[in-house]
Every structure is written in C-alpha cells, then in structure tokens.
Amino acid sequence: MPKLSWFLYFLALFLNQSVFPQTRQPLKIGLVLDRGGKDDKSFNASAFTGATRAKNELNIHLKVLECSSDSAFVPTIRTFAQHGYDLIIGIGFVQKSAIEAVAKQFPRISFLLIDAPSSLPNVRSVIFQEHEGSYLVGTIAALSSKTKTVGFIGGMDIPLIRRFELGYRTGATAISTQVKTFTHYVGASSEAWRDPSRAKELAMLQFSKGVDVVFCAAGSSCLGVFDAAEEKKKYAIGVDSNQNWVKPGTILTSMVKGVDQAVYESISLKLNGLFSGGTVHMGLKENAISFSIDENNRKILTPEIERQALKIREQILSGTLIVPDFYNLHKSTSTSK
C-alpha cells in the first residue's frame, strides 16, 4: 500500500509540473520613491508613470512605497527584498547607499538605481545626460528672452544640479555673448527640494534683475517658481516630467528626463531575462532627454525657436557640438559619488 501512495504522490507531482503547468507568478516589482512622493509632478511622478505603464502593459505585480524620511529607505527597500520581490527600483541619488546595502545582502534580487552610479553586479544604474537637455532649454530660454537675461534656480547645491546649471548657461550664452545669466540655489540641505516659498522669492529676485525666462531644477520647490512667473507674467521652464500643463501659458517648455522610460525599460528587461548590472547612460540619443512641446506651450514657443533648438539637438547628436559636463570637469567629486 505505501508503494501505491508513493506512486500516486509522484504521479501527482509529475502531473502538476508537466500536464498542468503552473501559471507563472507575475514578476514582483517594488518601486521606492524619495521624499517628493508620486505627486511631485516632476521627478518621482515620472518614475511612477513609467511603473504604472509597465503594470498596465506587462504582466507584473507592482507595489509603490513612499519614504517619509531619509532613514526610511533601508527598511523600505529591505521589506521588498524580504518579501521576495524580483526587481526593486530606487528613485534618486539619495537611495544609493540604501540600495547598495540591501543589494549586498540579497545578491539574487535585481535593483535599479536612478541618478547615481553603482558597481554592484545586481544593481543597474541609470545616469541621464542632463547637461545636454539643459543646453537645449538654455538656447530656448535665450532665444525667447526679450531682455536677453535668463535665470537658473537649482534645488540642493550638489554636482547633479550643477550639471544642469552648466549645460543651461552654456546653451544660453552660446546664442549670444550678450546674454546674461543669473543662478541661485534654494539651499544646501535636502529641504531645498521642498521649499517653494524660498524658490519663489529667488525667482522674484531674478525677475527684478531683468530675468524673463527662468529654468528651475529643484523638485517640488519649482512650484514656487512657476507661481512667481505667473504673477510677474514671465516664463519658466519645467524639469524632469513634462510640466507644461502645470501652468499653461507660463511654462515655456520642460526639460524632460525619461525616468519613466528607464523604469519601464528595466522592468521589461527583467521580464525577458535580459536584466544586467552596470551603469547605463541615457541622453538625447536614446530620446530619454528632450524638451516638451504640446498644446499647452504651442502658443508661446514659436516654431522658429523650436526649429533652431532642433538644429542644435542634431549638432549635439552628431557630435559636432560637445556640451560641457560638470561631472567631467570635477571628476574627483562626482565619479565616485
């Protein structure tokens, strides 16, 4: 009798494995947003869009968690790892050390890190060529400016944002040596990403000095800059997501950073078993960096300026124009980040 039951047991196992193949568990994807949260209309929103698109189009299980403080990253990422998630995505350079700490403990789980390099074999890191896009919006700003004075407002004063600034200022002054630029940073601490009132004051200050187009790369602080621009009837340039819709008629264009694209791509790579570690650069060539044109800014961004910007884009793509990269100028502070 026991023999028969063994036989039945193995038969059941066999049937289970081959005749009735188990429906494959959907891939489990965990997305950890930084403190801006998915409603920041900018950086995190872009990541959320990409992940949601993957959820709708591919067979995956997606869970998104927001972190309320910088010390919550490790436990949040680790919660995903502990529950056997296949791919865990950390948005923003602040998550670098948290992602790396967990990635070392869970070498079989894949991780995606946005905006900071990592050398771990199971971490894929995506760096965007922000300077290229910033150069383009810099030229658009200079061409649109009537006073030939343009401004830049950065969030936290770090190499990443300096990279935006350098590209932007180079682009603006390339139009004409007469173009004047003003630069301000909201702050030196991470509060700088969430301080719209201070950003608004800085924008007002720049407007009072004759600036009439301002590019803002400061997370949710930018909402203050947009407010100021609307009040003073000046132009602002959005960042990361296409922000043209936030204040139609005020936002000249947005320097779009394809965080959504990077997130979506990594998920589909993971799904197809092609995921690999290493640092990936995404820029104009991959169409991961661009400036946005839609019905919200069609009226304020003239076709002539668009044509010129596209021409410069071609020059960067073909390599005849090289945009200075803050990371290369200051290797010591940025490569090992």
Q: Compute the least distance from the CB of residue 199 to other proteins, in Å.
A: 18
Interface stretch with other proteins, choices 213-221, 279-287, 318-326, 328-336 (CB under 8 A): 328-336
The correct pick among 41, 55, 96, 313 for binding other proteins (CB under 8 A) is: 96
Nearer to other proteins, 149 or 221 (CB): 221
94 scored as a contact of other proteins (CB under 8 A):
yes
- Contact criterion met (CB below 8 Å) for 251 and 235: yes
Q: Closest Cα partner for 79 from 109, 115, 41, 114?
A: 109
Q: Closest Cα partner for 146 from 7, 15, 300, 307?
A: 300
Total interface residues for other proteins by CB under 8 A? 32
The correct pick among 7, 14, 75, 317 for binding other proteins (CB under 8 A) is: 75
User: What are the Cα distances from residue 213, in Å, to 147, 173, 184, 209, 240?
Assistant: 9, 14, 14, 12, 17
The correct pick among 156, 186, 214, 259 for binding other proteins (CB under 8 A) is: 156
Q: Compute the least distance from the CB of residue 111 to other proteins, in Å.
A: 16
Beta-bridge partner residues of 218: none
116 scored as a contact of other proteins (CB under 8 A):
yes
120 scored as a contact of other proteins (CB under 8 A):
no
* Cβ contacts of 23 within 8 Å, gap of 6 or more: none
The correct pick among 72, 174, 300, 321 for binding other proteins (CB under 8 A) is: 72
SS3 for 238?
strand
Q: Compute the least distance from the CB of residue 105 to other proteins, in Å.
A: 6
- Contact criterion met (CB below 8 Å) for 93 and 189: no
336 scored as a contact of other proteins (CB under 8 A):
yes
Beta-bridge partner residues of 156: 187
70 scored as a contact of other proteins (CB under 8 A):
yes
* Cβ contacts of 156 within 8 Å, gap of 6 or more: 185, 186, 187, 188, 189, 190, 192, 193, 218
Please tell me the distance from the alpha carbon of residue 219 to that of residue 230, in angstroms, as a whole number.
Answer: 18
Interface stretch with other proteins, choices 73-81, 121-129, 134-142, 268-276 (CB under 8 A): 73-81
139 scored as a contact of other proteins (CB under 8 A):
no
Footprint of other proteins (CB under 8 A): 63, 65-66, 68-72, 74-76, 78-79, 82-83, 93-94, 96-97, 105, 116, 156, 158-160, 188-190, 333-334, 336-337
